[in-house]
Chains A and B, each alone.
Chain A
Amino acid sequence: MLGLNAKDSRFMLIVVALTLLTPFILNPFPADSALAQFNAGYPALMQRFAIYGLMAIGFNILFGLTGYLSFGHAAFLGVGSYASVWMFKLLSMNVIPALIAATLVSGVFALAIGYVSLRRSGIYFSILTLAFAEMCYRLAYSVLTPITNGETGLQITLSDPRILDGAPTSSSLPTPGFFGLKMNAAHTIDIAGWSFTFSVGYYFCAVIALIGFYLSLRIFRSPFGMMLRAVKSNQQRMNYTGLNSRPYTLAAFVISGMYAGLAGGLLAAMDPLAGAERMQWTASGEVVLMTIVGGVGTLMGPVLGAGFIKYCENIFSKINESVLHSWFSFLPDGVEDVVTWIFARFVGEGWHLTLGVMFMLIVTFLPGGLVEGGKRLAARRKKKSDADAAKHPAE
């Protein structure tokens, strides 16, 4: 199917099914139960899963396949956001021109930055990309204020030209849409206590992320992907065989930059506002974290990592001390206070602590990320069932 072999087709179908059913899967608890705050099936968060998943997929094409660790991908995200907000301002509130512009502009940026940075490898490459990203970030805050609107962030206003849309008909700000469909439109279904929200924005992001996933699957299986893996395992040897690997790594860099730009464009499409803080180096670091947590060089890993981190960010930061007290109320009073105090340090404001600790544990004990963890579990179970089978041979 679509140029994939049977195994990959099955994999792709599973991913499509999971993505389309996300509003159900992430809402396992009834809306009024105590566990409802673990539900993640609301549009704003699901959109973030899809958008950052897309970005991590792109980052993985560079880092997972070629091993070049870029610390500057947030710059492309920011550039993509600015480009698409400008399209909203100048052309139309339709998201299609905005996304095309976001992808192209960030592609041009990636071409320029990659052309220079890829002359060096290892940590020098990381520092070069970091330097370029910090330059973009600082310029966006200072000199480029006419384009980026500085600290306030770039916003759409009623007086923007919007050539294709014509004169504004209402006095409220227009919302981005895909032809007739408004991005913030949503439909909620209530079934016996559960409440599921289906939003246009999420499904739009999800379809784009699925296309991105399909492309990355094709790249992973292509001769081009093979070449990138060869760069990772032994670039010197490739050079000695007379092959110039630079065009391949540059192509990978530009592709992953365009993924990041597209993700930035989607962020702007969901909420037409672009700020420079999206380009800060800690934002680049976050993408690296997502990829590592999920599993570098695996297809599903980056998406899982992105979902995992965004889930923790949103859910952990919402839990507060009174919620914890209600959970641990079955414990004796003194113990309850101690346990609550300990857990309270890791949730709410302190969720970064959880992130840091989790991250250290994963890097230390599970270098392959969540995907490797899953594989290990599966292998252990298989071993166990094999051992059981050996113990009780079939009659």
Chain B
Amino acid sequence: MDAIILQLFNGLEKGSAYALIALGLTLIFGTLGVVNFAHGALFMIGAFCAVTLSRIFQISFLTEDPTQTDFLGNPLQVETPYVEKWFGADAGAWMIDYSVPLSILLTIPVMLLVGYVMERGLIKHFYKRPHADQILVTFGLAIVLQEVVRYFYGANPIQTTSPSDYSGTVNIGAMFGMQIFYPVWRLVYFFFSAIVIGGVFAFLQFTTFGMVVRAGMADRETVGLLGIDIDKRFTLMFGIAASVAGLAGVMYAPILSPNYHMGMDFLVLSFVVVVVGGMGSLPGAVAAGFLLGILQSFASLNEVKAIIPGIDQIIIYVVAIVILLTRPRGLLGRRGVMEE
């Protein structure tokens, strides 16, 4: 029983990452009609924003502490981060500790900018080209981004720590009278992704901007004829989709140490998620993300693996194949999307 609950939580945590990435992918596909293979790279850039900020906070200067001496009898040299000097020792230490959540503030503008540059600089020229060309050019871009990150940060995974208040485990089984310990940060990640997903949906549902974007997704031409510059809004939506991927990456950094190819690793899975959910369907992407995350966790239970060996490795693909063959448009897909 407790193993099942534990796997359920594991699945929710995995599923929230899938759902966030798939949500961004679907936003781009639904608005601009572009299949973005560079989306995994955006996720990776987000994760490296966390690495960057924690490194910036840790930039230190050396002072000599006359009260202490090292083993040679010279005054001990102490490294003090600049943030501790500028904001006081307590606030500075807090900032270093909370560098991952704080880097959300860095990620959003960075990703908006990256998204804007990507759309205006490259993807704009590919609207009228076949989907295969879009896949290929964004795949090339993903390779480039990946290599640039590798140049600056090296090929090894970089460990990033969560704030010390959230780095332990919590007994989530207490309310059921059971002992199930679960890392706090993963729960935080789940709630964070729920907030982001809710925010995106609320933005599309309850703001005028969101209304126009939804109208544009349904019928781009008519909205254009009504005198609305839909392209400008879609460009901003690309930025927002990039930020969603970036946010997914930032908060994932303590769970999976960022490395330069993590984007490619997540890319295939998130495409499977999008297709299972139904191309162009936002609720479908979120639902499929959580569904596949949970299924994957349950498949890695030893009891399940004893019945069907190796199922934990392939469950997602099996589900994707079954769904595509029985429901060609995915779980919640609309008719006529990407049918040709």
* Chain A interface (Cβ < 8 Å from any Cβ of B): 67, 69, 116, 119-124, 126-128, 130-132, 134-135, 138-139, 141-144, 236, 281-282, 285, 288-289, 292, 345, 350, 352-353, 355-357, 359-360, 363-364, 367
The answer to whether A138 touches B314 (Cβ under 8 A) is yes
Minimum Cβ distance to chain B for residue A231 (Å): 12
The distance from the CB of A341 to the nearest CB of chain B, in whole angstroms, is 11
Partner of B338, one of A122, A356, A357, A360: A122
* Chain B, interface residues (CB within 8 Å), range: 35 or more
Question: What are the 5 A-B residue pairs with the smallest beta carbon separation, nearest first?
Answer: A143-B310, A356-B143, A138-B313, A359-B140, A356-B144
Contact yes or no, A127 B264, CB < 8 A: no
Asked whether B140 lies within 8 Å of A139 as measured between CB atoms, the reply is no
Bound together, the chains give a CA A85 to CA B146 distance in angstroms of: 34
Q: Given A281-B268, A288-B136, check contact A360 B144 (CB 8 Å).
A: yes
A231 CA / B21 CA spacing, docked (Å): 34
Is B313 touching A139 in the complex (CB atoms < 8 A)? Answer: yes
A367–B129 CB distance below 8 A: yes
Of the stretches B56-64, B156-164, B317-325, the one at the interface is B317-325
Give which listed residue, B132, B135, B139, B147, contacts A353 with CB less than 8 A: B147
A128 touches B321 (CB 8 A): yes
Q: Please give, as numbers and ranges, the residues of chain A lying within 8 Å of B146 by CB-CB distance.
A: 352, 356
With both beta carbons as reference points, the residue of chain A lying nearest to B328 in the complex is identified as A120
Instruction: Give chain B's interface residues, CB within 8 Å of chain A.
Output: 35, 122, 125, 129, 131-133, 135-137, 139-144, 146-148, 151, 264, 268, 271-272, 275, 279, 309-310, 313-314, 317-318, 320-321, 324-325, 328, 338-340
Across the interface, name the chain A residue whose C-beta is closest to B134: A363
Whether B328 and A124, one on each chain, are in contact in the complex, defined by CB atoms closer than 8 angstroms, is: yes
Query: Which of B137, B264, B310, B317 is the most central at the interface, judged by chain A CB atoms within 10 Å of its CB?
Result: B317
A350 touches B147 (CB 8 A): yes
B168 smallest CB distance to A (angstroms):
32
Q: In the complex the two chains form, what is the Cα distance from A243 to B279 in whole Å?
A: 29
**B317 lies within 8 A of A132 (CB):** yes
- The complex places the Cα of A257 from the Cα of B324 at a distance, in Å, of 22
User: Are B325 and A116 touching (Cβ within 8 A)?
Assistant: yes
Interface of A is mostly: helix
Do A127 and B338 have beta carbons less than 8 Å apart?
no
Which B residues are CB-close (under 8 A) to A289? 136
Given the complex, which residues of A lie within 8 Å of B136, measured CB to CB?
288-289, 292, 359, 363
Taking a contact as CB atoms closer than 8 A, the residue among B137, B272, B310, B339 that contacts A138 in the complex is B310
Q: Are A116 and B321 in contact (CB under 8 A)?
A: yes
Give A356's nearest chain B residue, CB to CB.
B143
Residues of B within 8 A of A142 (CB): 309-310, 313
Residues of B within 8 A of A123 (CB): 35, 131, 275, 279, 338
Across the interface, name the chain B residue whose C-beta is closest to A143. B310
A320 to B142, CA, bound (A): 24
Of B133, B142, B144, chain A has the most CB atoms within 10 Å of the CB of: B144
A135 pairs with B140, CB closer than 8 A: no
Among A127, A355, A359, A360, contact of B272 (Cβ-Cβ < 8 Å): A127
Known pairs A134-B317, A356-B144. 15 more at Cβ < 8 A? A69-B132, A120-B324, A120-B325, A120-B328, A124-B275, A127-B320, A128-B321, A143-B313, A350-B151, A352-B147, A353-B144, A353-B148, A357-B144, A363-B133, A367-B133
Closest to B148 in A: A353
CB distance from A14 to the nearest CB of B (A): 29
Contact at A363–B140, with CB atoms within 8 Å?
A: yes
Q: Are A127 and B275 in contact (CB under 8 A)?
A: yes
Q: Which residues of A contact B142 (CB under 8 A)?
A: 356
Give Cα A138 to B310, complex, Å: 8
